[in-house]
Amino acid sequence: MSQTAINTAATTSSAKRAIVIGSGLAGLSASSALLSHHHPVTLLERLPKPGGNSIKASSGINGAPTRFQSTADDEFYNDTVRSAGAALSNVRARREDLIRTLTQKSKDAVYWLVDEKGIDLSKVAQLGGHSRGRTHRGAGQTPPGAAIVTTLLKELNADPNFTLLTGSTVTKVLQSDDGSVAGVEYTTGEGEQKEIHGPVIFATGGFAGDSKGMLKQYRPDLAGIPSTNEAWPGSTPLLTAIGAQLLDMEMVQVHPTGFVDPKEPGKPVKFLAAEVLRGEGGVMLAEGKRFVNELETRQHVTDKIMDVQQPEEVDGVKQWDINIVLDEGAYQAAKSHIDFYLWKGLMQKTTVGKLGGEGTLEVIQGFADSAAGKTDDAFGRKSFGHWELKQVTLDTVLYVGRVTPVVHFTMGGVVINEKAEVLDKEEKRIQGIWAAGEGVLINSTFQPSRGSDIFYALPDAESNNHVRTDAPNVSSEVTPFSFQVVDGSDKFPTVSVQMSAIRSITTPPETVTDIDTAEGSVPFLEKAAFENATFFACVGLYQEWETLNWIDVGRYGTDPIYKGEDYETCTEVQLVPECTVEGPEYDGLVKKQCVPDINKVL
C-alpha cells in the first residue's frame, strides 16, 4: 500500500480508528504505517492466530539492487516482464508501468525491513524465474515470513493505539446513505455479531484455498489440484456487494513444488516445497530423468511437469510423482529448511543406489558435471546454487522429497487506483475503503484512441499547473497510450492521475482553452471536433523531443502556459509505446534522446 494511500486513510477522520482486515504482510505493513502517523488501528483477523499465509513464506523477498547482492543487478524488470508471459499483452503499457514501479521500489522495501525494522535479510540466492540472485532471506534459522510477521506484530502490540482482534470474521461492509464505506460488521470467535466504524483497509488475501467456491467459479480446470492454502472462502464477495470492480480473476498461480506427504498422500492441502530448494541446487526428476531447467518460471516448470506425466488421483486429489533431489552442498545452504522437512517426514536422506541405481547415477553425474562447468546444461540452467558434488557413486548421499504442482495464490481481485482506493465498475473510487496485498489490482484499463502526440506539464507564471496536448494531423504520426502523473510530485501536485483529453486524428486545432486546476480538475487544450479519450497513469517508454522550430505558431495559437510566448521556448515530451526513430511529421520536432523515466524529462 502506498504511503500516499496511508496518508489519505490516516487523515480521513481523525476521530475514528482505521479498520484493517487481514493480518498478513499487507495488513501488518498498513497498520504499521498508519500508527507511524499517530492514527489508531483496529486489526481484524478471522483465524485464531495472526500472520495469514505470509508467516509461512520461507524463500525470501525479492529486491534489487541492494547492498547484499554480490553483483550489479539491472535485470529485475526484464525478468518480471518475461515471467508475466501472455498476461502482459492485456493493456501492456499499464502492466509494464506497474512492473517498473514494483521492481524499482523493491530495494526500498528490503531496506525498510532491514534498516527500520531490524530484520536480517542478508543472505541472497537466485531462485526460479530470476536471471541472478536477488531473493533475500536471513542467515539464521527463522524463515523470512515468520521473521517479518513476528517483528511487525511485536512492534504493533507495543503501541497503545493498536488493537488486534483474532477469530473475528467480517461478514458485511457497512455503507452510509451516500454510498461511502462507514465500517464493517463482524462475528467474534464466540459467535457474537458486532459493528465497528471508521475507514476500512482490506488486506484479506486471495481465494486459492476456496476450491468449492471462487476457485471453482473462475478456474474450474484446476479442480482436484491440491493447494497450499487452507479451505477458507475468499472475501471478494464482500467488496463486490458494495460495487467493487473485479479484474483478472482467472489468473491463478500453480506452483510446481508442493510436498506429497507419504503419511497422507491424498491430503488436499500441501506444504510448499520452498523455492529455495531449487535455487540452492535442487534438481527435479520424473521417473528418474531430468526434464526441465529447474530455475525457469513457476508456470514453465509446472507446464513441463504436466507434459511429461499424467497425474494420479488419490481421494479426489490430482497429483504428479516428481522427485526433488539435493546434494550435501545444497543441503548445507538450505539447512534450516531441509531439517524442518526431514523432521516433518516430507524429505528423506538416502543414497543414489537406493533412489534409482545406475540410471539415477548417470543423471546426477550429468547434472554435477554441468554444475562444475565441465559441460553445458542440457536444459540451459546457468546457476546451480551451492551444489558441490562432483563425483557421484551409488553410495553418494542425497536429500529427496516427492513434489507435485499445487494451487498457490491468486493474482486477480478488486481494482484499486494508485492511492489503493477501491474502484467501482465505472472507475470511480468508493469513498472510505482501500485495499492492499493479494487480491487487489491497480487499475489497468484505459481507452486508447488514435489521436494525440504531445503531453507535458509545467507551471505558468502564477505557479498554476497545466497539462497540454497537441493533436496530430495525420494517421502516420506516432500515437502514445497514456500520460504519467506521479502522485506527490512537486511538478504537478494538483493534477489528477485520471484525466480526460479531447483530441483528433485529422482535424486541425481551432481554439485553445486553458482550464484551471482547481479542485482536481485537469487542464488541457480543447480543440474542436476531437475524439474523447480517457488517460490513466502509465506508459512503457518515453521519448523526449525538443522544439527547434514551430512551423506554424499562428495556426496553433500561443502557449497558455507561457502566457503569450510561442512554442519555441518549450521542451516537449512525446509518449510512445516504444522508442522509435520516426517523429511527428508536422510538429517541427526532432528526436533528442530516449529515456525510461518521464521524471527525468519533466
464 and 368 part of one domain:
no
Q: Is the pLDDT of residue 15 over 60?
A: no
486 and 369 part of one domain:
no
With cell 494517421, the residue in question is 475
258 and 362 part of one domain:
yes
- Lowest pLDDT segment from 11-25, 124-138, 166-180, 575-589: 575-589
Tell me the per-residue pLDDT of 496-532, one tens digit each, with 9 for 90 and over: 222 323 332 223 333 333 323 233 333 333 322 222 2
Would you give the DSSP letter of residue 551?
Answer: T
475 and 564 part of one domain:
yes
CATH number at residue 151: 3.50.50.60
The whole-number pLDDT of residue 361 equals 96
Packing angle of the helix pair 25-36, 3-11 (nearest 10 deg): 60
199 and 72 part of one domain:
yes
Distances (CA, A) of 334 to 86, 141, 338, 366, 389: 33, 10, 6, 22, 15
Quick check: 59 and 34 in contact, CB under 8 A? no
Instruction: Indicate whether 597 belongs to any domain.
Output: no
Instruction: Indicate whether 119 belongs to any domain.
Output: yes
404 and 467 part of one domain:
no
424 and 530 part of one domain:
no
Instruction: Indicate whether 601 belongs to any domain.
Output: no
User: What phi, psi does 305 have (nearest 5°)?
Assistant: -60, -45
Instruction: Indicate whether 334 belongs to any domain.
Output: yes
Question: How far is it, in rounded angstroms, from Cα 338 to Cα 269?
Answer: 20
Which has more confidence, 486 or 223? 223
Most confident among 9-23, 74-88, 328-342 (mean pLDDT)? 328-342
The whole-number pLDDT of residue 416 equals 84
Q: pTM of the entire structure?
A: 0.67
Of 435, 334, 500, residue with least CA distance to 30 = 435
| Residues whose CB falls within 8 Å of the CB of residue 235, separated by 6 or more in sequence, listed in order | 21, 170, 202, 204, 205, 439
Write down the mean pLDDT value for the chain: 74
Q: How many residues does the chain have?
A: 602
Give the three-class secondary structure for 308.
helix
Is-cis flag, bond preceding 493, omega within 30?
Answer: no
The number of angstroms, rounded, from the C-alpha of 149 to the middle of its chain's C-alpha atoms is 19
Give the three-class secondary structure for 454.
strand
Tell me the per-residue pLDDT of 140-149, one tens digit each, with 9 for 90 and over: 888 888 899 9
Structure confidence at residue 390 as a pLDDT band (50, 70, 90) = very high
CA 496, 497, 500, 502 dihedral sign is: positive
Structural domain including 154 reads 3-250+414-442
CATH number at residue 405: 3.90.700.10
317 and 238 part of one domain:
no
426 and 555 part of one domain:
no
Which has more confidence, 12 or 403? 403
324 and 212 part of one domain:
no
234 and 360 part of one domain:
no
Instruction: Indicate whether 121 belongs to any domain.
Output: yes
Question: How far is it, in rounded angstroms, from Cα 127 to Cα 385?
Answer: 9
Q: Is the pLDDT of residue 479 over 80?
A: no
Question: How far is it, in rounded angstroms, from Cα 180 to Cα 202?
Answer: 15
The whole-number pLDDT of residue 232 equals 84
Quick check: 495 and 519 in contact, CB under 8 A? no
The whole-number pLDDT of residue 88 equals 64
The whole-number pLDDT of residue 142 equals 87
Which has more confidence, 573 or 213? 213
Question: How far is it, in rounded angstroms, from Cα 217 to Cα 238?
Answer: 16
Is-cis flag, bond preceding 65, omega within 30?
Answer: yes
Query: Would you tell me how many other CB atoms lie within 10 Å of the CB of residue 357?
Result: 12
Quick check: 577 and 480 in contact, CB under 8 A? yes
Quick check: 293 and 255 in contact, CB under 8 A? no
Instruction: Indicate whether 448 belongs to any domain.
Output: no
Burial per residue of 478-491, b for 16 or more beta-carbon CB atoms within 10 angstroms, e otherwise: bbbbbbbbbbeeeb
Look up residue 27 and give its amino acid.
G
Tell me the per-residue pLDDT of 348-365, one tens digit each, with 9 for 90 and over: 999 999 999 999 999 999
Give the three-class secondary structure for 181.
strand
20 and 37 part of one domain:
yes
CA 293, 294, 299, 303 dihedral sign is: positive
Distances (CA, A) of 205 to 249, 256, 589: 13, 21, 49
Instruction: Indicate whether 587 belongs to any domain.
Output: yes
Residues catalogued as catalytic = 255, 278
Instruction: Indicate whether 449 belongs to any domain.
Output: no
Question: What total of structural domains would you count in the chain?
Answer: 3
